[in-house]
């Protein structure tokens, strides 16, 4: 796991390119504390930078940017290819020679043999730039699940790319603030892809690659992999067997590491299953990490102990209190690459992992989205019925005093994004317009015109909820927040539930087999009932959260209405102090106020 950056330009001197790319890498150094490297081509027009977090082959053989023997290919790579050993064996049998034990070298040799067709053969989380000097093209490539971020801009017929948006500020290019980010944040709680806080900077779509032609200084984007829903598995027994075998295989793959590795153990179903599977492969070498709180209503310690009593390895527990939250708040905010209303908990657990001396950890992220762990999975029928109401009736809901009922307004949209904003949205267009002092129609047009994948129109029920949670909430909030918060501590977070083979299997299971109205994640539970204690899977879902409602009320910088100049924001923060506004909605207002 690393950080990458680069500039391709015919307008700058090599010296200037190197200085800028070095500066881009330096600002991301926390995500790659072990090594750094710079590559410049013979013409002096292409510069790649790299910050390394050593996980596989800790020797200097893993130094990046990495070149092939003939110097015709160069790569700067962030991520892990979990099937790299199988690919390496295939390439070796075909005559390729390897000089390191890295997956980086496998990518280079795979591309050399199979070209861009190699991209769909990589199973893992990755974002990389690959320069082919012979055909004078550079490729920016991002994994099918979009686990690793990759941002790019093409100003003045140049190409700039980086793992974090903040790196672009280290260049001499003129960047324009996109004020729409504030509308998106207040509506979604995050800035959805492909948008960022800058007009010129976009996020590369998952499962796609950008081709940059060095001769014409133009780019094109192609899709190399796209997950699709099927209903081919209709036998519950087969579904259980497939889920079990693929998840076990996924965990085994995700444990490959030359550096210390562990598991985040919250005490919930997902992390408990991962821990119990990992224990079978790692035994005494496995380390688990748990975070507990002084506020006992939020503590899951007793559930964590149930699991740790069943495993062999070392377990580390950390206790956090309000005082540490307040003292660390500025550091947490500075770690955010883009404004977000989540991610603080990820910052804390990554800090604990760092203190434990491990470099990579497994996370249960993705299980709720794929197996039906959220209330949204039970609400899709209700949403379908509500959308049959006249639009004028739904629009009237915005006048309701309760924010929850106000969001019924979003169901008046023809665009299915309205369903997501009803389920997970924060503020409605009228409030957003008042907070930002902009035209309400402008807000409505931006949100109702949000581009959505046509595949969603073919889905209903649990699969529809899964698509929304996976492609919007998980993609834009959970994965992004987890990435920059973990990397701010130099920690790699691996997500076995997003293994490509496992995801393909889950999407091929009939929804009647996959989801249940009576129990969340019933298929996942049934697949591992033989090892998962009943006290874990029968408990009520808490979700991995801290007592932020109470903590943020105490924290004057966020909760004091007098800190807010806008009349509507001031009133809303007063509501927050009175317990009438959720902390995440208040946090969104904090970001907006801070940016003014």
Q: Cis bond leading into 65, ω under 30°?
A: yes
Both structure tokens of 590: 């904090």
For the cut 70, the answer to whether the pLDDT of residue 298 exceeds it is no
Are 310 and 176 part of one and the same domain? no
- Rounded to the nearest 10 degrees, the angle between the axes of helix 376-386 and helix 417-424 is 120
Check residue 331 and give its pLDDT: 95
**Per the structure block, which two tokens stand in for 159?**
């190409």
Residue 216 CB coordination number (10 Å): 9
- In total, how many domains does the chain have? 2
Q: What pLDDT digit, counting tens, does each position of 169-195 carry?
A: 999 999 999 999 999 999 999 999 999
Sort strands 46-52 and 35-40 into parallel, antiparallel or unpaired: antiparallel
Nearest to 146 by CA among 474, 370, 501: 474
What is the percent of the chain where pLDDT is above 90? 86
pLDDT given at position 2:
87
* Contacts with 310 (C-beta within 8 Å, 6 or more apart), sequence order: 276, 279, 533
The sign of the torsion formed by the CA atoms of 210, 26, 491, 110 equals: positive
Host domain of residue 366: 236-372+473-548
Q: Within a domain: residue 123? A: yes
Residue 452 inside a domain? The answer is no
Residues 167 and 140 in one domain: yes
Distance CA 147, CA 369 (A): 14
Distinct helix (H) and strand (E) counts, the chain: 26, 17
Q: What is the mean pLDDT of residues 565-570?
A: 96
CA distances from 502 to 83, 122, 286 (A): 14, 14, 23
- Tell me, yes or no, whether 214 and 299 share the same domain: no
The pLDDT of 390-397, averaged and rounded, is: 95
pTM of the model: 0.95
Cβ(385)–Cβ(474) under 8 Å?
no
> 289 lies in a domain?
yes
Q: Within this chain, do residues 186 and 254 fall inside the same structural domain, yes or no?
A: no
DSSP code at position 83: T
Least confident of 146-160, 240-254, 478-492, 536-550: 536-550
Would you state the pLDDT for residue 295?
Answer: 65
The first and second tokens of residue 424, run together, are 């997970």
Residues 215 and 262 both lie in one domain = no
Among 192, 223, 254, the domain boundary falls at: 223
Which pLDDT value is given to residue 321? 84
Contact 544, 564 (CB under 8 A): no
The SS3 assignment for 116 reads: helix
Q: What is the pLDDT of residue 539?
A: 75
Res 353 pLDDT > 90: yes
pLDDT of residue 121: 97
CATH number for the domain spanning 213: value is: 3.60.20.10
Domain assignment of residue 392, yes or no: no
Cα separation values, 591 from 181, 317, 340, 595, Å: 11, 31, 8, 6
For residue 92, pLDDT over 80 is answered with yes
**386, 408 Cβ separation under 8 angstroms:** yes
| Local confidence band at 375 (pLDDT 50, 70, 90 cut-offs) | very high
pLDDT in tens, 437-493: 999 999 999 999 999 998 999 999 999 999 999 999 999 999 999 999 999 999 999
In a domain, 569, yes or no: no
pLDDT recorded at residue 403: 86
Dump pLDDT digits (tens) for 508-550.
999 999 999 889 999 999 999 999 999 998 876 655 556 889 9
Final residue of a domain: which of 223, 247, 275?
A: 223
Is residue 299 predicted with pLDDT exceeding 60?
Answer: yes
Residues 259 and 364 in one domain: yes
Q: Within this chain, do residues 217 and 300 fall inside the same structural domain, yes or no?
A: no
| pLDDT(18) > 80 | yes
Q: Provide the angle, in degrees to the nearest 10, between the axes of the packed helices 429-436 and 567-577.
A: 120
Query: Is the confidence at residue 296, as pLDDT, over 70?
Result: no
Which CATH number does the domain housing residue 541 bear? 3.40.50.620
CA dist 203 and 263 (Å) reads 29
DSSP bridge pairs for 291? 318
Say yes or no: 491 and 533 in one domain. Answer: yes
174, part of any domain: yes
Mean pLDDT across 104-109: 97
Question: Per the domain annotation, does 185 fall within a domain?
Answer: yes
Q: Are 56 and 30 in contact (CB under 8 A)?
A: no
SS3 of residue 198 by DSSP: strand
196 and 67 assigned to the same domain: yes
Judge if 210 and 285 occupy the same domain.
no
User: Which of 201, 223, 245 is the endpoint of a domain?
Assistant: 223
Quick check: 187 and 447 in contact, CB under 8 A? yes
State mean pLDDT over 496-501: 98
The Cα 357–Cα 79 span in angstroms is 20
**Mean per-residue pLDDT of the chain:** 94
Helix (H, G, I), strand (E, B) or coil at 208: strand
330 — pLDDT class (breaks 50, 70, 90): very high
| 9 and 84, same domain (yes or no) | yes
Note the pLDDT of residue 301. 83
Mind listing the pLDDT tens digit for each residue in 435-450? 999 999 999 999 999 9
Contact 62, 34 (CB under 8 A): no
Contacts 24+ apart (CB under 8 A), 574-580: 576/552, 577/553, 579/549
The pLDDT tens digits for 315-327 are 999 988 888 899 9
Residue 20 to residue 147: CA distance in whole angstroms: 26
Residue 158: inside a domain:
yes
């Amino acid at each position: 796991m690393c950080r990458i950056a680069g500039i391709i330009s015919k307008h700058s001197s090599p010296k200037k390119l190197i200085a800028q790319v070095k500066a881009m890498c330096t600002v991301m150094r926390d995500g790659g504390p072990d090594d750094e490297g710079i590559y410049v081509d013979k013409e002096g027009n292409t510069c790649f930078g790299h910050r390394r977090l050593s996980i596989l082959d800790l020797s200097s053989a893993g130094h990046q940017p990495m070149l092939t023997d003939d110097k015709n290919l160069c790569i700067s790579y962030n991520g892990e290819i979990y099937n790299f050993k199988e690919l390496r064996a295939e390439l070796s049998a075909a005559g390729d020679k390897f000089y390191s034990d890295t997956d980086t070298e496998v990518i280079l040799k795979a591309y050399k043999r199979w070209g861009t067709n190699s991209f769909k053969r990589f199973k893992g989380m990755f974002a990389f730039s690959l320069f082919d000097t012979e055909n004078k093209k550079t490729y920016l490539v991002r994994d099918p699940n979009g686990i690793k971020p990759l941002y790019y801009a093409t100003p003045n017929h140049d190409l700039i790319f980086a793992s974090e948006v903040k790196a672009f500020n280290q260049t001499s290019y003129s960047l324009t603030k996109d004020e729409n980010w504030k509308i998106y944040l207040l509506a979604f709680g995050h800035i959805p892809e492909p948008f960022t806080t800058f007009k010129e900077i976009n996020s590369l779509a998952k499962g796609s690659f950008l081709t940059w032609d060095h001769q014409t200084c133009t780019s094109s984007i192609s899709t190399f992999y796209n997950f699709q829903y099927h209903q081919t598995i209709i036998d519950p027994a087969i579904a259980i067997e497939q889920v079990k075998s693929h998840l076990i295989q996924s965990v085994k793959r995700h444990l490959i590491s030359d550096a210390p590795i562990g598991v985040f153990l919250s005490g919930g179903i997902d992390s408990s299953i991962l821990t119990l599977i990992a224990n079978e492969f790692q035994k005494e070498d496995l380390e688990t990490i748990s975070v507990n709180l002084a506020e006992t209503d939020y503590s899951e310690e007793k559930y964590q102990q149930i699991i740790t009593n069943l495993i062999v390895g070392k377990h580390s527990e950390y206790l956090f209190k309000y005082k540490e939250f307040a003292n660390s708040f500025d550091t947490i905010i500075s770690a955010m690459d883009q404004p977000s209303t989540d991610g603080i908990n990820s910052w804390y657990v990554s800090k604990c992992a760092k203190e434990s001396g491990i470099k990579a950890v497994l996370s249960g992220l993705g299980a709720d989205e794929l197996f039906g762990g959220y209330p949204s999975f039970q609400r899709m029928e209700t949403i379908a019925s509500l959308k049959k109401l006249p639009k004028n009736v739904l629009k009237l809901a915005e006048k309701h005093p309760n924010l929850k009922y106000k969001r019924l307004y979003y169901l008046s949209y023809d665009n299915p994004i309205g369903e997501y904003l009803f389920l997970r949205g924060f503020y409605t267009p009228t409030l957003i317009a008042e907070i930002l002092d902009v035209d309400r129609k402008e807000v409505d047009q931006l949100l109702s015109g949000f581009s959505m994948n046509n595949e969603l129109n073919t889905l209903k029920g649990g699969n529809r909820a899964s698509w929304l949670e996976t492609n919007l909430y998980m993609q834009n909030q959970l994965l992004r927040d987890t990435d920059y918060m973990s990397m701010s501590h130099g920690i790699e977070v691996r997500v076995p539930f997003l293994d490509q083979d496992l995801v393909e299997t889950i999407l091929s299971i009939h929804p009647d087999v996959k989801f249940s109205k009576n129990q969340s994640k019933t298929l996942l539970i049934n697949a591992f009932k033989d090892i998962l204690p009943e006290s874990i899977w029968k408990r009520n879902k808490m979700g991995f959260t801290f007592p932020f409602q109470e903590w943020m009320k105490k924290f004057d910088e966020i909760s004091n209405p007098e800190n807010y100049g806008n009349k509507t924001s001031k009133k809303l923060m007063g509501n927050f102090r009175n317990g009438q506004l959720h902390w995440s909605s208040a946090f969104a207002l904090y970001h907006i106020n801070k940016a003014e």
